[in-house]
Amino acid sequence: MQQLGVIILAAGRGKRMRSDRPKVVHCLNGVPLILYPLGIAQELKPAKIVAVVGYGAEEVKRACGEEEITWVVQNEQLGTGHAVLCARETFTDFSGDLLILSGDVPLITGSTLASLVRHHREQKSTVTLLTAHLEEPFGYGRILRDSTGHVVRITEERDANESEKKIDEVNAGIYAVACEFLFTALKGLTNNNQQGEFYLPDIVGEAARSKKRIETVVMAHPQEILGINAREELAMMERSLQEKINRRLMESGVTLKDPLTTYIEERVTVGKDSVIGPNTHLSGRTVLGERCQIDGNAYVVDSRFGDDVHLKFNVVINGCDAADGVEVGPFAHIRPGTELKGNVHIGSFVEVKNSTVGNGTKANHLSYIGDTVIGQESNIGAGTITCNYDGFDKHRTTIGDRVQVGSNTQFVAPVAVGNDAYIGAGSTVTRDVPPGALALSRVAQKHIAGWVERFRQMHRKK
């Protein structure tokens, strides 16, 4: 069995992005560009994955997290050919084929790459190129063929003459190459071109000159090979990716009331018969169950919801774990570390952070619940605040089952309330409340008879 190695080119700055950040860390649908080819490369289970980084190398490495990659640094960006040459040392005791991917071509699929490698091997080819016919080939390297259809070389947009510019078959920047030939050919490259760079595609001309076999796999769906060089392309690709995700969701039984304003990231899953309203953003590792309803204006990150959950208009939810039948909103803010058990209701202008709320408990109006554990079937009255922060440390509030918290209550944490307790409205709770007790901490009400009339007369005299 021949070995397969992968090289991902990601050292360029991406000048056309006009960014201080390296191009490949810009996000497409919430995921840094570099992670797209990387993920696909991993699917192929190659012997080795080498990424060539240079501009903003540390930031690119960070974006890749814990992935198993051999990093190679191209200190000066002298061109794609030079970039691949930088990886030579990592393939000294390697014999087989190298698959070269571009960090800025995100939509390429595993099956396309698998068929590229398969074709390369079946044909015993030296260089196999992925190409496509584009309606607008501008900016891409063009494939030059002789009268018999054999590839003779590739010319870059900036080096092409007028008739070459009319060629609509473009180089995807993705190649399967015999390892030995590759590094020999790269050593012979020159930078005698408009950009003064060492072009990787020039190995194709070299292969033709030395009568090596050159094969092409022409893509039926050119979408896959589109590269990102500028922000406008990023936005357009974001839109087409979004359309694809939306279509997939609708096909799987999800209703999107306004697909044009529905932004759902790749990794999100939504269960059947869920209905999603306009201006909904679901991102990260969000999971939504079946028959859920999102009214609209929802911004949801890394959260899990069971079935039959209802998110009413205007909610911001991050890092929430909600069971079946939960209702949130309108106008609610759920922050990381929140667990909402079955049928919990979190209502308008309620913020919950790092708290667990038990089955059937309700906090329907104007509350802040932070660093708190609440049992089941309790009711948190309007205007309840957990005072969890003393300027230095956060403290916990614990509220039991079936507790009735009167409106406008403050819990000065750390404090605990036993099961079945009642808190009188307007109380400031500073000490633990025993189970079954009524806690009252407000000043007793008194009446001063005739006070109003005396007050008025005093003013009339003035």
Question: Which DSSP category does 437 fall into?
Answer: P
Q: CB of residue 152 vs ligand UD1: minimum separation in angstroms?
A: 15
- Residue from the set 104, 169, 215, 302 that interacts with ligand UD1 by CB under 6 A: 104
Q: Which of 228/323 has CB closer to Ca ion? A: 228
Q: Which of 129/249 has CB closer to ligand UD1? A: 129
Residue 83 touches which of ligand UD1, Ca ion, none (CB < 5 to 8 A by kind)?
A: ligand UD1
| Distance (Å, whole) CA 217 – CA 143 | 12
The footprint of Ca ion on residues 205-244 (CB under 5 A) is 227, 229
Q: CB of residue 279 vs ligand UD1: minimum separation in angstroms?
A: 33
Q: Is 58 left (phi over 0), alpha (psi -120 to 50) or beta?
A: alpha
Pick from 403, 451, 448, 444: which is nearest to 426 by CA?
A: 444
Q: CB of residue 33 vs ligand UD1: minimum separation in angstroms?
A: 8
Residue 78 touches which of Ca ion, ligand UD1, none (CB < 5 to 8 A by kind)?
A: ligand UD1
| Distance (Å, whole) CA 93 – CA 118 | 23
Pick from 229, 221, 215: which is nearest to 178 by CA?
A: 215
Q: Residue 37 interacts with ligand UD1 (CB under 6 A)?
A: no
Site map for ligand UD1, 197-226, x if CB under 6 A? --xxx-------------------------
Q: Which of 104/351 has CB closer to ligand UD1? A: 104
Q: Residue 104 interacts with Ca ion (CB under 5 A)?
A: yes
* Part in contact with ligand UD1 (CB under 6 A); list of ranges 73-81, 112-120, 279-287, 307-315: 73-81
Residue 134 in tokens: 């584009």
Q: Residue 173 interacts with ligand UD1 (CB under 6 A)?
A: yes
The catalytically annotated residue of 119, 133, 365, 395 is: 365
- Residue from the set 29, 102, 297, 361 that interacts with ligand UD1 by CB under 6 A: 102
- Using the structure block, give the residue that is written with the tokens 């191009």: 23
* Part in contact with Ca ion (CB under 5 A); list of ranges 104-112, 212-220, 237-245, 428-436: 104-112
Pick from 288, 97, 246: which is nearest to 174 by CA?
A: 97
| Distance (Å, whole) CA 32 – CA 106 | 10
Question: Which DSSP category does 84 fall into?
Answer: H
* Part in contact with ligand UD1 (CB under 6 A); list of ranges 79-87, 257-265, 291-299, 404-412: 79-87
Q: Residue 6 interacts with ligand UD1 (CB under 6 A)?
A: no
Q: Is 310 a catalytic residue?
A: no
Per-residue CA distances from 340 to 292, 307, 325 (Å): 15, 13, 10
Q: Which residues pair with 410 in a beta bridge?
A: 385, 428
- The residue of the chain with the least Cβ separation from Ca ion equals 227
Q: CB of residue 229 vs Ca ion: minimum separation in angstroms?
A: 5
Q: CB of residue 227 vs Ca ion: minimum separation in angstroms?
A: 4
Pick from 122, 98, 249: which is nearest to 186 by CA?
A: 98
The footprint of ligand UD1 on residues 12-31 (CB under 6 A) is 12
| Distance (Å, whole) CA 285 – CA 300 | 10
* Part in contact with Ca ion (CB under 5 A); list of ranges 20-28, 97-105, 292-300, 317-325: 97-105
Contacts 24+ apart (CB under 8 A), 365-371: 370/394, 371/395, 371/396, 371/397, 371/413
* Part in contact with ligand UD1 (CB under 6 A); list of ranges 60-68, 70-78, 204-212, 235-243: 70-78
Three-state SS sequence of 143-205: EEECCCCCEEEEECHHHCCHHHHCCCEEEEEEEEEEHHHHHHHHHCCCCCCCCCCCCCCHHHH
Q: Residue 264 interacts with ligand UD1 (CB under 6 A)?
A: no
Q: What's the alpha-carbon Rg for the chain, to the nearest Å?
A: 31
The residue ranges that bind Ca ion (CB under 5 A) are: 104, 227, 229
Give catalytic residues, as residue numbers: 365
The residue ranges that bind ligand UD1 (CB under 6 A) are: 9-12, 52, 74, 77-80, 82-83, 102-105, 140-141, 154, 156, 170-173, 199-201, 227, 229
